[in-house]
Amino acid sequence: MPEQFTSQITVDRNIVSLLSKFTYERSLPYAVREVVSNSYDADATVARINIDLKKDRIVIHDNGNGMTKAEFEFYLRIAGQRRGKRETPKFGRKRIGQFGVGFLAILPFCETLQIRSTTENSEEVFSADIPAAKFFKQDGKTVDVGAVVVSGEVEQNPRLKAEHFTEISLIRLSDLAKRYLSQK
Tens-binned pLDDT, residue by residue, of the chain (184 aa):
888 988 877 665 445 334 433 434 458 888 898 899 989 999 999 999 999 999 999 999 999 999 999 888 877 776 555 556 688 888 888 887 665 666 777 888 899 999 999 999 999 999 999 998 887 766 766 667 777 889 999 999 999 999 999 999 999 999 889 988 988 6
From CA 31, how far away is CA 24, in angstroms rounded? 9
What average pLDDT does the structure give for the chain?
A: 82
Q: What is the pTM of this model?
A: 0.82
Q: Could you tell me what percent of the chain has a pLDDT over 90?
A: 44
SS (H, E, C) 128-181: EEECHHHHCCECCECCCHHHCEEEEEEEECHHHCCCCEEEEEEEEECHHHHHHH
Residue 74 sits at φ, ψ, to 5 deg, of -70, -40
Q: Tens of pLDDT along 10-62?
A: 665 445 334 433 434 458 888 898 899 989 999 999 999 999 999 999 999 99
Strand partners, 59: 50, 169
From CA 124, how far away is CA 118, in angstroms rounded? 6
Dihedral of CA atoms 63, 67, 68, 69 in degrees, nearest 10, equals -130
From CA 91, how far away is CA 141, in angstroms rounded? 45
User: CA 7: distance to chain centroid?
Assistant: 14
